[in-house]
Amino acid sequence: MATQAGATAVPSKEYVDKTLTEQDKLLADLFQSFVGYTRRTSKQRDNGDDIATIVGACAQSEKYDKTTKASLGEVATVLANVEEYRDNHVRNLENHVLHELAKFGNQHRGSQTNLRRSLSQSQRRKSGANGQSQAEQTFSRELIDFESRRVTGLRSVLQNYMFSELAWHLKAAELYSNAFKALQAIDENEDVEDFRRSLQLPRETQSLKSTDRHQLPGGGTGTLS
């Protein structure tokens, strides 16, 4: 909490009330934003579970394409693992961000009550010979302690949020990289050949050789550039 430029050592009651009210609103807004973020992350986890399940079903449906079947099965497993870690991420947000922020908010409001009471006492008493009453000295100490707890608490909550995000994104990047490598293992040529043999389809070599040509208007042909 900043002090007023050129003001006495003890801020006015109006200034303290205004500042504390602003802090309350900002903490409430921050809490609601984290609530919304956590809910959206939870919804994304549920949607991710659906994707993993569907990819797994795609793998099971592959009857002829062996490398596609194996790769999709591996990808489905990786995606399911991604959502397990995302679920842990949601729990971390709930326990170490939302819970801690709510706890900090309650403590902050309790400290505000004590601070306002101390300010009222300092304003009711006249200054002593040294220009500052004992009540004013007490209020000044409590104001400094209040600001220290406020800054420390806010920093702790935000550090928990950053740590949770870093842990989640690092693990997610590792898992998604594994899924990408699994997809690269698909050999479409081998799978198409297995598909052709399984259905006893003829190998149309002439058609394959002419795939680089296209029909031009008027019946002519041309080579694709």
Q: Could you tell me if 168 and 90 are in contact, meaning their C-beta atoms sit under 8 angstroms apart?
A: no
Helix ranges (H only) for the chain are 13-61, 66-92, 99-124, 134-184, 188-198, 205-209
Distance CA 169, CA 192 (A): 36
Q: Could you tell me if 212 and 225 are in contact, meaning their C-beta atoms sit under 8 angstroms apart?
A: no
Distance CA 135, CA 139 (A): 6
Distance CA 140, CA 132 (A): 10
Residue spans of the domains in the chain: they are 13-201
Q: What pLDDT does 105 receive?
A: 87
Q: What pLDDT does 16 receive?
A: 81
Its pTM stands at 0.76
Distance CA 123, CA 60 (A): 77
Length of the chain: 225
Q: What pLDDT does 126 receive?
A: 52
Query: Which architecture characterizes domain 13-201 according to CATH?
Result: Up-down Bundle (1.20)
Phi/psi at 213 (nearest 5 deg)?
Answer: -125, 150
Q: Could you tell me if 224 and 212 are in contact, meaning their C-beta atoms sit under 8 angstroms apart?
A: yes
Distance CA 118, CA 65 (A): 77
* 38 token code pair: 């956590």
Distance CA 136, CA 122 (A): 5
Q: What pLDDT does 9 receive?
A: 54
Q: Render each residue's pLDDT in the chain as its tens digit; 225 residues.
A: 544 444 445 677 787 888 888 888 999 999 999 999 999 999 999 999 999 999 999 999 999 899 999 999 999 999 999 999 999 999 999 999 999 999 998 888 888 887 787 777 776 665 554 555 677 777 778 888 888 888 999 999 999 999 999 999 999 999 999 999 999 999 999 988 888 888 888 876 544 444 444 454 555 555 444
The sign of the CA dihedral 188, 193, 196, 202 is positive
